[in-house]
Amino acid sequence: MNTLKKRIQVENLRLSYGPVEIIHDISFDVYEKEIFSIIGPAQSGKTSLLRCLNRTIDFTRGASVSGKIIVDNEDVRKTRDIFALRRKIGMVAPLPVGLPLSIYENVAFAPRCSGLKKKSQLDEIVERCLRQAALWDEVKDRLNNLGTALSGGQQQRLTIARALSHQPEILCLDEFSIAIDPVTTMRIEDVLKELKREITIILVTNLTHQARRISDRSMFMLKGDIVEIDRTEVIFSDHPAKKETYDYVNGIFG
């Protein structure tokens, strides 16, 4: 039995876009200080599920959500402070989206918006977040350069640093390695393994070997349903609970 604290409890979640139901009555828990991977082929509802967690799904016209998503004993669908929710649950998109600002200001942007003005404090936050994202040593001498001028892998790590500047308690990453090279991918995976000492990480990935390398538990989704959730070593063993799981992680379909 898992004795860790539950950070997220999803109960009977359904999501529809117009008349089409994308996620079908799913329930699961995510625990503190774990890397929880969500795997499955395209059109399984993985990205849509992430967007339900911090209510960025609210921006999608025609989206309808039912069920409960409890984060630290609060139902996110009833929260009155959406901005606080999105600070608590940081999100990193599949492709790096840099602000048209300097490297420094990309990271300092959110703290400034929260009212922080003291330069020494901003300097500390920028350095801490860039170090956490394994980018500091590469950019510390050019912090005033445009963030959008960095390489793709550096921009993705800058995106992570920017997400960390909110001091999230939960970090969601959606296919973060889709547009970066394997060496950079491995560096970011090392970053995530360090970060899980402090925060909970939810990773959506189509790369099954990535989930196998770094996650504590994995959830296999297929066509909007949960097929199986278990410790990652069980999901990727020769004997997961479901044949569909074995077939997917072994490349027989998907």
Superfamily name and number for 6-249:
P-loop containing nucleotide triphosphate hydrolases (3.40.50.300)
pLDDT (mean) for 42-52? 94
Q: With pLDDT > 70 as the criterion, what percentage of the chain qualifies?
A: 98
CB 47 within 8 A of CB 31: no
Q: What pLDDT score does 178 carry?
A: 79
Condensed to tens digits (0 to 9), the pLDDT of residues 50-60 reads 999 999 999 99
Q: With pLDDT > 90 as the criterion, what percentage of the chain qualifies?
A: 70
**CA distance linking residue 221 with residue 235, whole number of Å:** 12
Which residues, 6+ apart, have CB-to-CB distance to 62 below 8 Å?
17, 18
- Give one DSSP letter per residue of 98-125, joined into a string: --SSBHHHHHHHHHHHTT---HHHHHHH
- Residue where the block lists tokens 């997400």: 163
Q: What pLDDT score does 2 carry?
A: 58
**CA distance linking residue 25 with residue 225, whole number of Å:** 8
Q: What pLDDT score does 1 carry?
A: 46
Condensed to tens digits (0 to 9), the pLDDT of residues 124-146 reads 999 999 998 889 999 999 999 99
**Which of 44, 91, 64 lies closest to 199 in space, CA to CA?**
91
Domain chopping of the chain, boundaries: 6-249
Q: What pLDDT score does 11 carry?
A: 97
Q: H or E stretch including 21?
A: strand 20-31
| Averaged pLDDT score across all residues of the chain | 92
- 3-class secondary-structure state, position 74: strand
Higher pLDDT residue, 64 or 83?
64
Q: Say whether pLDDT at 10 is over 70.
A: yes
pLDDT (mean) for 64-84? 91
